[in-house]
Amino acid sequence: MRVIVIGSYSEADRARFREAAAPADLHFADRIDSVVDMLGETDGVVGSVPGELLERAPKLRWVHSPAAGVNKDLSPQMLASDVVLTSSAGNGGIPLAEHAMMLMLMLDRSALRWIEAQRRHEWDRFTHGELNGKTVGIVGLGNAGSDLALKAKAFHMRVLGLRRRTNLPVEHVDRLYGRDELAEFLPECDFVVVTAPQTPGTAGMFDRAAFAAMKPSAYFICISRGGIADDDALLEALRNGEIAGAGLDAHGVEPLPPESPFWDLPNVIVTPHNGATTDGTARRGRDIVAENLRRFVRGEPLMNIVDKTAGY
């Protein structure tokens, strides 16, 4: 059995992966295009495999994405194949939830005003908000969304959730809404936080009608993937006062172009898709790789199998 591991890993990580995958032949490469000739005899790949290369890998049974989101891995060829796709979902849930809390606190307390005052050396005291007693609506209740619910409860917030499946309760969530209840969900929220993956079902779900349904005092926060909000609709809502502001770590176009109006809006905080860039995220991702290598070689059920139809 041969497994190719794509990416830059330390010698300690490589030794750990070899141990987990023993007795399989484990081959390391920095880029997939450097091992194309090996794909014909390869059973598994840790890393992304472009769709046009799948036909070069007739023995391939498993691909593991080192990322939590698998949008770029779901090529038409992958969707049509029997290859099992797994992801590193869960590796960044904790820091993403922390990032969402940071953005909620900064927006609610007008923290940018303090930052500007500090630059001017001005003592600018003002009455600001507090999260206590406010309602956060979480769109998507995977790892990041579930951890955010726990953290929001620690701030004494009311927590609502919106997800595709509503038949199972979620801990720390006061009420669940289905995707078809978005219009009822949004007016309840002081903060709307998107932690859902971008899929055919979520792409563009925040359109003009969605932002019009939010409170004028509410904030929109996106920490998962751009494209879930229509950028033109979001800009219009921010400029017209339909919503109070936004915290954006995920953007429709990345990197966010220098000429994007989002940079200069006074009620927007922009971060560069950086919320989960932590040592802990990388460590948890390596843990998932090692465990799935062990399981694959032994024929055991894999972690984080992606539903290709659903997109996550």
Among residues 99, 172, 251, 273, the one annotated as catalytic is 273
* Residue in 46, 66, 64 with CA at minimum distance from that of residue 3: 46
Rounded CA separation 255/263 (Å): 12
Exposed / middle / buried, residue 125 (Cβ in 10 Å: 0-12, 13-18, 19+): exposed
- What the block records as the tokens of 45 is 């790949």
Is residue 273 annotated as part of the catalytic site, yes or no? yes
Contact 210, 189 (CB under 8 A): no
- What the block records as the tokens of 156 is 């004494």
- What the block records as the tokens of 59 is 């023995």
Any idea which residue has 């009420």 for tokens?
175
Rounded CA separation 63/86 (Å): 6
Residues 275, 136, 167, 306, Cα dihedral to 10°: -10
Active site amino acids: 273
